[in-house]
Amino acid sequence: MQAMKTSVAIVGSGNIGTDLMYKLIRSPHLEMKALVGVDPHSEGLARARELGLEATADGPDWLLERAGEFDIVFEATSAWVHRENAPRYEAAGLKAVDLTPAKLGPLVVPPVNLGEHLDAANVNMITCGGQATAPIVAAVSRVCDVPYAEIVSTVASVSAGPGTRQNIDEFTKTTSASLTEVGGARHGKAIMVLNPAHPPILMRNTVFCALGDGYDRDQVAQSILDMVAEVATYVPGYRLKNDPVFEEDLYSTPGGEVKARVVTLLEVEGAGDYFPPYAGNLDIMTASAVRVGEALAQAS
């Protein structure tokens, strides 16, 4: 007998919302029912209609009028739009999985802290850079002291839509916060770069972790490898570009002076659901959000 699926809607019919739609359709636990946008000519809405889903350009008002038919809303608009919508979702009894960098609810990275926030009304998916890098920081900080962590996230220009571009400041700040709040580093900094190369590059992430004295090199490397394998269970294109690199030098970090750092070079190839495989940044956000949505559905 098939269990009742949890009904979900997506608000935001841009790159992220459309990619998420394709993944939600495949979920055994979630029933993707509606895609909500504001632009009647949006390609995402046209694709939703082709798939036989409800698609509307009437914005969140449409969803709120029919809130009783839904359990979870995935927000894929922008940080400031989500700040307006979030209290209305909560009042209507809808759980929100926020894919913008608005950072209203707790930051969630599935392999690190998913179980801790299953009762929250609103959870935040951080950013693509945060989903790709906070797990690595967590992997290092679970085996040694990380006074400071820094990440560089580079995505193909064509995969960064207008929402991401207008939000670049929120993007860097929210990603930085995830390195400490989820990753467990004492200080964090995030850097985002857009690269317009042709053909488009795969999403690249570099994670620098300052290593406090007394770290065990093999233990740190193994912890990173284990975490990469765990993320790859829900983001198949997530992989190390090279083995973790240990560099010894004197580094005056914001978390104090250290004598070594470990550098983890990652790339993320997307599943190619909506955008081509280079857009691993879309894929890791949407795949992580599905994982969170499924956990929320199973918990309720």
Partner 1 sequence: MTPRFRLTDSTLRDGSHAVAHQFTEQQVRRVVKALDGAGVPVIEVSHGDGVGGSSFNYGFSHTDEMTLVKAAVEEATRAKIAVLMVPGIGTMDDLRMAAEAGAKVVRIATHCTEADISHQHIVLAHELGMEAIGFLMMASMTTPELLTIEAQKMESYGADGVYVTDSAGALTIDEARRRVAALKGGIACQVGIHAHNNLSLAVANSLAALEEGVDQIDGCTTGLGAGAGNCPTEALVAACEKSGIPTGVDPLQIIDVAQETVRPIKPEQGVIDRDGLLLGYAGVYGSFLLHAKRAADRYGVDSKEILLELGRRQVVGGQEDMIIDVAVELQKRAAAAQGAG
Tell me, letter by letter, the H, E, C secondary structure of 105-124. CCECCHHHHHHHHCCCCEEE
| 80 touches partner 1 (CB under 8 A) | no
Q: Which is nearer to partner 1, 267 or 273 (CB)?
A: 267
Any idea which residue has 């029933």 for tokens? 31
Closest approach of Cβ 225 to partner 1, in Å?
16
Among 142, 265, 272, 276, binds partner 1 (CB under 8 A): 265
d(CA 191, CA 152): 5
- In the chain, what is the straight-line distance between the N-terminal and C-terminal CA atoms, in Å? 19
x-or-dash string of contact with partner 1, 181-220, rule CB under 8 A: --------x-xxxxxxxx--x--x-x-x-x----------
Q: Half-sphere exposure of 50 toward its Cβ, with a 13 Å CA cutoff?
A: 9
190 within 8 A of 151, measured Cβ to Cβ: yes
| 113 touches partner 1 (CB under 8 A) | no
| 157 touches partner 1 (CB under 8 A) | yes
209 assigned to active site = no
Question: Which residue of the set 128, 228, 260, 285 is catalytic?
Answer: 128
Interface with partner 1 in residues 38-67 (CB under 8 A): none
Closest approach of Cβ 145 to partner 1, in Å?
16
| 247 touches partner 1 (CB under 8 A) | yes
Q: Which is nearer to partner 1, 103 or 261 (CB)?
A: 261
| 232 touches partner 1 (CB under 8 A) | no
| 95 touches partner 1 (CB under 8 A) | no
Among 26, 49, 217, 241, binds partner 1 (CB under 8 A): 241
d(CA 62, CA 52): 18
**Cβ-based neighbours of 91, under 8 Å, separated by 6 or more:** none
# of chain residues touching partner 1 (CB under 8 A): 37
d(CA 274, CA 285): 13
| 278 touches partner 1 (CB under 8 A) | no
Positive or negative, the CA dihedral 19, 136, 267, 205 is: positive
| 168 touches partner 1 (CB under 8 A) | yes
- Following CA atoms 12, 15, 18, 21 in sequence, which dihedral angle do they give, to the nearest 10 degrees? -90
**Cβ-based neighbours of 136, under 8 Å, separated by 6 or more:** 183, 207, 209, 224, 227, 228, 264, 266
105 within 8 A of 120, measured Cβ to Cβ: yes
For residue 283, the surrounding DSSP H or E stretch is helix 280-299
In the numeric block, which tokens belong to residue 251? 């580094």
Q: Which is nearer to partner 1, 191 or 225 (CB)?
A: 191
Closest approach of Cβ 142 to partner 1, in Å?
21
Query: Which residue ranges make up the site for partner 1 (CB under 8 A)?
Result: 148, 150, 152, 154, 157, 162, 165-166, 168-169, 171-173, 189, 191-198, 201, 204, 206, 208, 210, 241-242, 245, 247, 251-253, 261, 263, 265
Instruction: Give the residue numbers annotated as catalytic, written as ranges.
Output: 128
